[in-house]
Amino acid sequence: MPLHVLCRIRNIGIMAHIDAGKTTTTERMLYYSGYTRALGDVDDGDTVTDFMAQERERGITIQSAAVTFDWKGYRINLIDTPGHVDFTVEVERSLRVLDGAVAVFDASAGVEAQTLTVWRQADKHHIPRICFLNKMDKNGASFTYAVDSIKEKLKTKPLLLQLPIGEAKTFKGLVDIVTKEQIIWNPASSLDDGKVFEQKPVTETDDPELLKDVRDARNALIEQVADLDDEFAELVLGNFSENFDFLPADKLQSAVRRVTLAQKAVPVFCGSALKNKGVQPLLDAVTMYLPAPNECSYDFLERMSRLLLPFADQQIEIPSLMAGNIALTVGLKQSATGDTIVSSKASAVAAARRAGREVGRKPGCNSEVESLLLAGVEIPEPVFFCTIELSSVSKQPDLDNALNCLQREDPSLKVRIDPDTGQTILCGMGELHIEIIHDRIKREYGIETYLGPLQIAYRETILDSVQATDTLDRTIGDKRHLVTTQLGVRPWAGERSSVTPVIEYADNFMEPLQKDIQEAIENGINSSYLQGPLLGFPVQDIAVTVYSMTMHSETSLTMISACVSRCMQKALKKASKQLLEPLMNLEITVSEDLLSAVLGDLAQRRGSIQEIQSRQDNKVVVAAVPLAEMMGYSTVLRSLTSGSATFTLELASYQAMNIQEQNALLQKRSGLV
Ligand SMILES: Nc1nc2c(ncn2[C@@H]2O[C@H](COP(=O)(O)OP(=O)(O)OP(=O)(O)O)[C@@H](O)[C@H]2O)c(=O)[nH]1
Compute the distance between CA of residue 622 and CA of residue 604 in angstroms, rounded to an integer.
16
* Cβ contact 622:648 at 8 Å: no
Does the N-terminal peptide bond of residue 2 adopt cis geometry, omega within 30 degrees of 0? no
- Side chain identity at 255, as an amino acid letter? A
**Distances from the Cα of 472 to the Cαs of 139, 408, 530, 661, in angstroms?**
72, 38, 21, 38
Q: Express each pLDDT in 10-21 by its tens digit.
A: 888 888 887 889
Measured from CB, residues less than 6 Å from any atom of ligand 1 are 16, 18-24, 42-43, 59-61, 82-83, 134-135, 137-138, 272-275
Residue 561 burial (10 A CB sphere; 0-12, 13-18, 19+): buried
Q: Give the residue, by CA position, lying nearest to ligand 1 atom 9.
A: 21
Q: How far is the CA of 27 from the centre of ligand 1 (A)?
A: 11
Count of Cβ atoms closer than 10 Å to residue 643 Cβ: 9
Mutate to test the pocket of ligand 1, among 42, 58, 132, 167 (most ligand atoms within 8 A of CB): 42
Q: What is the pLDDT of residue 367?
A: 42
**Rounded to the nearest whole angstrom, what is the distance from the C-alpha of residue 22 to the centroid of ligand 1?**
7
Q: What is the ipTM of this complex?
A: 0.97
Residue nearest atom 24 of ligand 1, based on CA coordinates: 60
Q: Which pLDDT does position 303 carry in this prediction?
A: 42
Q: 99-103, 305-309, 530-534, 629-633 — which is least confidently predicted? A: 305-309
Task: Give nearest CA residue, ligand 1 atom 32.
Answer: 135
Q: How far is the CA of 134 from the centre of ligand 1 (A)?
A: 9
Residue 20 Cα to ligand 1 midpoint, Å, equals 5
593's CB contacts (< 8 A; 6+ apart) are none
| pLDDT tens, position by position, 635-662 | 888 889 887 788 877 788 889 998 998 9
Whether residue 133 has pLDDT greater than 60: yes
Neighbours of 596 (CB within 10 A): 10
For the segment 501-517, the average pLDDT, to the nearest whole number, is 84
> Cα separation of 128 and 13, whole Å?
11
Q: How confident is the model at residue 108 (pLDDT cuts 50, 70, 90)?
A: very high
Which one has a higher pLDDT value, 423 or 320?
Answer: 423
* Beta strands in 81-157, from DSSP E residues, in sequence order: 100-106, 129-134
- Over residues 227-243, the pLDDT tens digits come to 999 999 998 888 787 78
55 pLDDT above the threshold of 70: no
Look up the pTM and report it: 0.64
Closest CA to 336 of 402, 400, 273, 409: 409
Q: Ligand 1 mean position to 643 CA, how many Å?
A: 17
Residues contacting 639, CB < 8 A, separation 6+: none
502-505 and 197-201 strand pairing: unpaired
DSSP 177-208: TTTTEEEEE-SS-TT--S--EEEEE--TTT-H
Name the closest-CA residue to atom 2, ligand 1: 135
Residue 73, sorted as left (phi over 0), alpha (psi -120 to 50) or beta, turns out to be left
Ligand 1 atom nearest to 83, measured from its CA: 25
| Mutation pick for ligand 1 pocket among 14, 23, 270, 433 (CB with most ligand atoms within 8 Å) | 23
The pLDDT assigned to 52 comes to 55
Ligand 1 atom index nearest CA of 84: 25
**pLDDT band of 412, cuts 50, 70, 90:** confident
> Between residues 39 and 490, which one has the greater pLDDT?
490
Q: How far apart are CA 524 and CA 530, in angstroms?
A: 11
What whole-number distance in Å separates Cα of residue 159 and Cα of residue 253?
A: 12
